[in-house]
Structure 1
């Protein structure tokens, strides 16, 4: 930047230097000013005299030298990759003019710098008279390659990490998130398309071509389907979402290759569950489909809307609770609570357990196909090889109408009566509101009430239909129990067994073989096995 304390005057006999009145200056500032003006041949003694006088009178400090009195000169330096250009300004002599911004830009263009020139920066350099230093005044634009296609996964995968703490600060380590349950037609992933990229350019105007982002197909695996535009991926079925080989698969079966323990956690799944190992004590499997356990079940809880199969058996420790709407098939049962909406089939022993099936309980097929201890209930029939034990273990067998069915029927009848009464009130209110509507007296509040009551009516009708269907099924089961209930023992029935058929009880006091216990003539009688 020019020093406005000083002024140069170019006379025929030499170069004269003067200073503003009252200005404070030193030798470095004076010499610096002279050099900035291109006066290199100054007289040192004359400068010292000027410094000592400080009277404001112009002092001759140099002779005129036509060879030094030149216009400003420009130089440009372009980087090897042509992505930057630097400007060097050799200042003009004395009061000769500095170049304009347009003149600098024109010079740069003549030297091949045609892109990325920062006119604002050039103007700043000129206004500050910044000379004899390299300044970057032009920059190229690098090419930006397009981004590769990516995917936004809409489902959080099970991570086998414990859930958050409860209010007391405890974490249930059994409740892991190892199962990723998805529903039919649920969105699994959204494709983020590849981008084209942006071309760059050098300061010389050479275009730098950008690479187009690589496209990637949706990670569609088994049990999935893509939208027509190829952007969204959906689940084709209800199931477990797994990522395998870079693709998303929805499988209808959740498979555990080892045991259900702390490494897996509790399982709550909407499809079938297959466990190739055991289910350890305290863990839980809840499924809307079938459950198959190829090992043993310890003191665990299994609940299925379908059927349950346990190859190894149930070692319940008086903690196991097994429930299925369908059939239950087990190797053995020891100290467990088992409930089936259809049949229970056991190959070997049932010991000290509580079993109930709406259909049959069958304990056959093994050398130890025995029911001993506890209570076994069946809506239709109990069939076993051995009933009771030589030790006289207290064992109770009940066939006929299950107590839970009786309670459920009672509840449904009460629900139906209550719902019908509620339905009558809704119909009466709707009838009144429709009359108001017909006469043009229905305001907005009453119209909203009428819409609400209409919805309630349809919901109630749906509930009534479901309850009536369930009641019909229960009544059919109860009727079958009245005509078909019996207990059959293919081998030995030991004393200590109590048999109840259709509400009547028979106490076994002597060992029986190849026998049946049936309702006959108002009492329970012992008949041959194949009666």
Structure 2
């Protein structure tokens, strides 16, 4: 048969994943049929080597008049991207509170205790995926799955063969900053008083009473308070659970590395590394959460409330139009935080080089020292070197997490289930929007440098 190029031409998509066969001439000028082998040679001449749709090429041998041009003649194989690693907890942890669940405040106050040897969590490794092939036969790389970020912390061991975390002591499970801990528990069976004083414990603390004004409670693990907190200071390396609430008198402070679960907040200051769950209302307070603030059954009136991703509330503001400031997004610059981490890593790397040089000098001078002195100096040098390298690993992990936060596109929104009152001020960075009239059942999103209002 004469050159197929006089009848047809091929167009392919920019990503080289599809090719269409177009007809140059009027259909009446085409022959009735074309041999499939001629068509395949024409495709091969145009470098199309993969994904040829044989069902369509066979139509050319039957009847060209039944074909509608352009016709899809080749389709590449899409890559199968890898899946990220996962972690499955086999015990109750503070990590298991799901954002969109209707959470039960009373159940949250239960203490997740484990015994020595208990299995805590199992890791599934990421899957690498399979590469694709475009219509020209070129490989298309698949995205690799990311490993799950989780480490063994205090009283926890990791079995690499089983990819499983186990408790090496009995205590309370807590997950903070991608690290699983089992903390010892210190219990107080009454309200804090001069008899007990301030608490500073390297595990978890449980108080079956109140924390009055002027006292401080600090713990590396979780803090559970079955009463109320007044103008006191509560600082936790895990999560904070307060059964009643906080009457902070503008000076009370709660600072948690993970979540805060509390009945109500009145004139308090709260900072948490992940989510803030308030059973009732937030009144004239300064609250900030890394991810989300939930105030499902109450309202937010006055003060300043900041969540980087989402705020969900029943009523926002009040009928008296009390000024209420709601911040979305990170009010601190992530770039500055990243610069600080890079600077710290540079200093730590310089320290490693100095310690390695010191170690070499000690070894060269071993003949001039007695064995005890040599052993002591080498032990100190190795301890400092190990500690500094661990510091670099920790900084690198923080840099990875910070970079993910900077690169990630986050949907930021405010959900008002009931009433949104006037004189509520919405703030994102340098942008401010004052609600000028009462509204109901609103979803407010941040998009294209403005707040967008949509009915729920």
- TM-score of the superposed pair, with normalisation by structure 1: 0.47
Residue in structure 1 matched with residue 269 of structure 2 by the alignment = 337
SS in 2 for 1:317: coil
Residue in structure 2 matched with residue 351 of structure 1 by the alignment = 283
CA distance in 1, matches of 2:240, 2:218: 11
Residue in structure 2 matched with residue 459 of structure 1 by the alignment = 387
Flag the 1:401–1:479 CA change in 2: closer, same or farther, 3 A. Answer: farther
Residue in structure 1 matched with residue 436 of structure 2 by the alignment = 509
Q: CA deviation at 1:403?
A: 1.7
CA distance in 1, matches of 2:228, 2:379: 55
Q: Deviations over 1:466-514 (max 9, x none)?
A: 111123223334445x422222211122222221236533222222221
Q: Deviations over 1:83-116 (max 9, x none)?
A: xxxxxxxxxxxxxxxxxxxxxxxxxxxxxxxxxx
Residue in structure 2 matched with residue 399 of structure 1 by the alignment = 328
SS in 2 for 1:491: strand
Q: CA deviation at 1:290?
A: 1.9
Residue in structure 1 matched with residue 211 of structure 2 by the alignment = 279
Q: CA deviation at 1:303?
A: 1.3
- Higher relative CO (CA 8 A, sep ≥ 6), structure 1 or 2? 2
The aligned runs of 1:103-502 (5 Å cut-off) are: 252-365=184-297, 369-403=298-332, 408-424=337-353, 433=361, 437=364, 444=369, 456-480=384-408, 482-501=409-428
CA distance in 2, matches of 1:278, 1:416: 42
Aligned 8 A contact 1:379 1:478 in 2: no
- TM-score of the superposed pair, with normalisation by structure 2: 0.54
Which one of 428, 441, 446 corresponds to residue 519 of structure 1? 446
CA distance in 1, matches of 2:334, 2:192: 33
SS in 2 for 1:411: helix
SS in 2 for 1:415: helix
Which protein shows a greater Rg?
1
Aligned 8 A contact 1:361 1:382 in 2: yes
Structure 1's consecutive aligned runs of 4 or more residues displaced over 6 angstroms after TM superposition are: 428-431, 445-452
Aligned 8 A contact 1:383 1:487 in 2: yes
Aligned length: 277
Flag the 1:517–1:430 CA change in 2: closer, same or farther, 3 A. Answer: same
Flag the 1:236–1:347 CA change in 2: closer, same or farther, 3 A. Answer: closer
Q: CA deviation at 1:331?
A: 0.9
Flag the 1:456–1:294 CA change in 2: closer, same or farther, 3 A. Answer: closer
Aligned 8 A contact 1:259 1:276 in 2: yes
Aligned 8 A contact 1:238 1:270 in 2: no
Q: CA deviation at 1:308?
A: 1.1
SS in 2 for 1:318: coil
Q: Deviations over 1:371-426 (max 9, x none)?
A: 11111111211111111222222222112224286654342222113223444555
Q: Deviations over 1:47-93 (max 9, x none)?
A: xxxxxxxxxxxxxxxxxxxxxxxxxxxxxxxxxxxxxxxxxxxxxxx
CA distance in 2, matches of 1:253, 1:449: 38
Q: CA deviation at 1:260?
A: 1.4
CA distance in 2, matches of 1:261, 1:405: 41
Aligned 8 A contact 2:327 2:427 in 1: yes
Flag the 1:512–1:506 CA change in 2: closer, same or farther, 3 A. Answer: same
RMSD over aligned Cα atoms: 3.3
Flag the 1:456–1:528 CA change in 2: closer, same or farther, 3 A. Answer: same
Structure 1 residues 446-455 or 399-408, which shifts more?
446-455
Structure 1 residues 341-350 or 404-413, which shifts more?
404-413
Aligned 8 A contact 2:253 2:269 in 1: yes
SS in 1 for 2:286: strand
Flag the 1:342–1:276 CA change in 2: closer, same or farther, 3 A. Answer: same
CA distance in 2, matches of 1:464, 1:528: 48
Aligned 8 A contact 1:485 1:502 in 2: no
Flag the 1:441–1:453 CA change in 2: closer, same or farther, 3 A. Answer: closer
Q: Deviations over 1:8-30 (max 9, x none)?
A: xxxxxxxxxxxxxxxxxxxxxxx
CA distance in 1, matches of 2:412, 2:188: 40
Q: CA deviation at 1:449?
A: 8.0
Flag the 1:419–1:381 CA change in 2: closer, same or farther, 3 A. Answer: same
Q: Deviations over 1:218-274 (max 9, x none)?
A: xxxxxxxxxxxxxxxxx96579xxxxxxxxxxx943333321122322222233322
Q: CA deviation at 1:338?
A: 0.5
